[in-house]
Amino acid sequence: NLYSASELQGEPAPGVSSTTALNTIKKIADETLPSGFSFEWTDLSYQQVNGANAGLYVFPICVLFVYLVLAAQYGSWTLPFAVIL
């Protein structure tokens, strides 16, 4: 890496969610960093920011998979709805 870098660490106050803390840090960085400077998340923060929407895709696919397995077992397309609900 040929760029100068600085590491900052922080911890949210008790009772403050990590999402709120990350959004606050992003807002402050956008307001105070001069042009040409940027920041990146690392470790758990990186995973939280980039994986936050994974559940939106995984959950419906799992429900569909369970529905198809139940439909195969019961030999019916309507009976699995009653089992899932």
In this structure, are 9 and 22 located in the same domain?
A: yes
Do 43 and 27 fall within a single domain?
A: yes
Per-residue confidence (pLDDT) for residue 1, from 0 to 100 = 61
- Residues with pLDDT less than 70, the chain: 1
Number of domains composing the chain:
2
- Helices 18-32 and 43-50, packing angle to 10 deg: 100
- Containing 82, the helix (H) or strand (E) segment is helix 79-84
Whole-prediction pTM: 0.61
Domain co-membership, 42 together with 68: no
Please provide the DSSP assignment of 12-26 as one string: PPTT--HHHHHHHHH
Which domain range does residue 39 map to?
A: 1-52
Q: Residues 58, 39: one domain?
A: no
DSSP 8-state assignment for residue 55: H
Same domain, 58 and 45: no
- What pLDDT digit, counting tens, does each position of 39-63 carry? 899 989 999 888 878 878 899 999 9
pLDDT of residue 81: 92
